[in-house]
Amino acid sequence: MDFEFATAARIVFGAGRFKEIGAVGAGFGSKALVATPFKPGAGLYARMKRYLDEQGVQMVALPVSGEPDVGSIQAGVALARAERCDWVIGFGGGSAIDTAKAVAALAPQTGPIVDFLEVVGSGKALSAAPLPFVAVPTTAGTGAEVTRNAVIGVAERQVKVSLRSPSMLARVALVDPQLTYGAPPEVTAGSGADALTQLIEAFLSNAANPLTDALCREGIQRAARSLPVVARDSQQAAAREDMALASLFGGLALANARLGAVHGFAGPIGGLRPAPHGMICARLLPLVCAANLAALRLRQPQNPVIGRFDELARLLIGDPQARAEDGIVWLESLIRELRIPGLSRYGVGEADLAALVQNAQQASSMKGNPIVLSEAELSEILGRAL
């Protein structure tokens, strides 16, 4: 047994703890760049500004209108440098947090951004320490507050890739479940499905370890019992807390294990079409699980991950007699309950399949899949997901 585990320097969790953001980060400097989708004058924006003001920290807003791409990161880096910001806050969903994380990492560097990216660039190591980065999520899904990478779109290549470094971990992850109450139903469903997907993929990953297993087991149970609840009623405090923890645990797990074919596909699909990441993951999850289970039984019948599919079913359903197929049926039922559409809803068609499969095979997340899926198996998954 051989593994490492690294995460944010400090995790602050609890309802109402958002008010501590000024005190949490005041030691990092007197000027903070805040990457956020919230508009000036909006409730959460005003609260963030007030809490920072109370500690003598000036807020410089970086508006986030969508998922980060090379252009938006370049703009953020330019703003951070021009304003001489001391530290960076990601305040919002995964897009805001990844934007902040990338800006904090790249502002002190020299050279083109693409040089630091995986797949499309050389994955060049960061030569200077990033600015201090603090994450404050307002959705429960990506777990980006405790991961060491930022997903960035590269328009000319029609793909999303990662900027990755151990030094990109947050100095503080401040998780307040109350901040998720206002998320729209579709965002709640998609982000929650992403959290569950990350927990499941890390649990089935070829790099799982005892620490990530413990997080995944706890997180899967919480997400399974509470995702359907918050999708129906966003004000259920206990269920919102469950999902905030599930998201946090998923981030901790994926950063220290790996993901799999769902996320291997998600980057190329999201780079090609404007499809919400969580919706992509939700649509693919039961299909990938079924394909992985069938491939393992066919080609690696002694692989211990097969037994994990049985355990996964028990975690999802809460039935000690549940078997692997029962878990897949449960996942299929969940995506129907959450009203997850087929990928064709977002413009993905038959003509896209070959290129998407090729790009997915090169994705870093695919390396964590418990078995190497053939091109035919990957094509079948995507075809059924349309």
Domain count, the chain: 2
Query: In this structure, are 228 and 347 located in the same domain?
Result: yes
- Which pLDDT band holds residue 298 (cuts at 50, 70, 90)? very high
- 157 in a structural domain: yes
Query: In this structure, are 200 and 171 located in the same domain?
Result: no
Rg (the chain; Cα; Å): 20
Picking from 162, 180, 198, the residue at the C-terminal end of a domain is: 180
The CATH number assigned to the domain holding 160 equals 3.40.50.1970
Query: In this structure, are 269 and 366 located in the same domain?
Result: yes
| Domain region containing 370 | 185-385
* CA 144 – CA 260 distance, rounded (Å): 17
Element (H, E) at 175: strand 172-175
Give the pLDDT of residue 3: 85
Picking from 180, 200, 233, the residue at the C-terminal end of a domain is: 180
Q: Check if the beta carbon of residue 7 is closer than 8 Å to that of residue 169.
A: yes
- 5 in a structural domain: no
Query: In this structure, are 134 and 232 located in the same domain?
Result: no
- 6 in a structural domain: no
* CA 159 – CA 352 distance, rounded (Å): 13
* CA 189 – CA 191 distance, rounded (Å): 6
Picking from 112, 146, 180, the residue at the C-terminal end of a domain is: 180
Query: In this structure, are 81 and 210 located in the same domain?
Result: no
Of the ranges 235-239, 319-323, 333-337, which one carries the lowest mean pLDDT score?
A: 235-239
Inform me whether the pLDDT recorded for 317 exceeds 90.
yes
Query: For 254-295, how does the pLDDT look when each residue is reduced to its tens digit (9 = 90+)?
Result: 999 999 999 999 989 998 998 999 999 999 999 999 999 999
Inform me whether the pLDDT recorded for 339 exceeds 80.
yes
Of the ranges 21-25, 121-125, 204-208, which one carries the lowest mean pLDDT score?
A: 121-125
Query: For 178-228, how does the pLDDT look when each residue is reduced to its tens digit (9 = 90+)?
Result: 999 888 888 899 999 999 999 999 999 999 999 999 999 999 999 999 999
Which amino acid does the sequence have at 188? T
* Residues 6+ positions from 195 with CB-CB distance below 8 Å: 140, 141, 142, 143, 219, 223, 227, 243, 246, 247, 250
Inform me whether the pLDDT recorded for 356 exceeds 90.
yes
Give the pLDDT of residue 22: 94
Query: In this structure, are 235 and 138 located in the same domain?
Result: no
| Cα–Cα nearest to 35, from 132, 104, 125 | 104
Query: In this structure, are 156 and 117 located in the same domain?
Result: yes
What are the residue ranges of helices labelled H in 273-374? Answer: 277-299, 305-317, 324-337, 353-362
Inform me whether the pLDDT recorded for 131 exceeds 90.
yes
DSSP of 28-76? G-SEEEEEESPPTTSHHHHHHHHHHHHTT-EEEEEE--SS-BHHHHHHH
The CATH number assigned to the domain holding 276 equals 1.20.1090.10
